[in-house]
Structure 1
């Protein structure tokens, strides 16, 4: 009984992956399973649908999810508690500063002010003036939409041409 109640209140950290459900985020959680024969842990992945009414989660974001006391729908069993990291915005968890590769953004900015941006370096990009991620949503960026899946296209006249389950 104790383990079951503990698992219900557990929080999971996972990565948002592409999904087709509106108002929810599909989250992939990495778990470690013990192999009794080898006495080693191996990664396994569990997928959960988490309630995201504001639709803040995008593919690649790292989020914190919690199991709902009651299922919202058959698929939605968790809720998004917090957005930890957005894709592309890497933050050092200790200092809270933004990072590019192995350097802090303010260090790169300071170096660029002193010496100018280097060739082929991330120093030439201005992060303060860059638009936020997803600003072209619905215009040119279609990463928020579901990919088209056509396994086979039948020619007109074929008995399965107009069958939506066949394409």
Structure 2
């Protein structure tokens, strides 16, 4: 029943999670469910598959997905409309400023100037874009697969 509520919505905001399906991505959608005994809403996560043949989104991205007029398969009911925030690059939607752990980046720069920069502050403007460490430390672009047996090897791409 909960999945039926997610598939009836026209547009959803979801976070991309690892997926093994070809031409599709899996998204974690947060919904609020009413507990009638306490008369309070509690978060509940549902998973939705969306058509993404170009693999525009990587794990951790916040994405807007919209319902397809007709299902592609039994599982794929939505399509990726837009990648709002790439993983690790959060922007405040009201002001349009970049945010780091609850603080604006420009506020952090002003505070570091007030106390005198000692070389320990991170330069966000000079940092390379996400994805520059592909095949070095970032393996989110590689295809994931299900580990069916335990042979003692540790593969980070296995789900």
TM bucket normalised to smaller: 0.7 to 0.9
Q: How many residues align?
A: 145
Q: Is 2:138 aligned against 1:137? A: no
TM-score normalized with structure 1 length:
0.71
Aligned partner of 1:128 in structure 2 is 125
Aligned partner of 1:90 in structure 2 is 90
**Deviation, structure 1 residue 60:** 1.1
* Contact kept in structure 1, 2:24 and 2:55, CA below 8 Å: yes
**Partner Cα distance (1:148, 1:10) in 2:** 31
**Partner Cα distance (2:146, 2:21) in 1:** 15
**Deviation, structure 1 residue 135:** 2.1
**Partner Cα distance (1:118, 1:138) in 2:** 29
Bigger shift: 133-142 or 50-59?
133-142
- Per-residue CA deviation, residues 3-48 of structure 1 (Å, 9 max, x unaligned), is x9xx746211111111112332211111122233333323222111
**Partner Cα distance (1:112, 1:39) in 2:** 46
Query: Highest CA radius of gyration, 1 or 2?
Result: 1
**Deviation, structure 1 residue 129:** 2.3
Following superposition, which runs of at least 4 residues in structure 1 exceed 6 angstroms of deviation? none
Higher relative contact order (CA 8 A, sep 6+): 2
**Deviation, structure 1 residue 148:** 6.3
Unaligned runs of 5+ in 1: 155-167
- Per-residue CA deviation, residues 44-83 of structure 1 (Å, 9 max, x unaligned), is 2211111123312111111111110011233221011121
* Contact kept in structure 1, 2:20 and 2:145, CA below 8 Å: no
RMSD between aligned alpha carbons?
2.8
**Partner Cα distance (2:26, 2:113) in 1:** 42
Unaligned runs of 5+ in 2: 153-159
**Partner Cα distance (1:148, 1:79) in 2:** 23
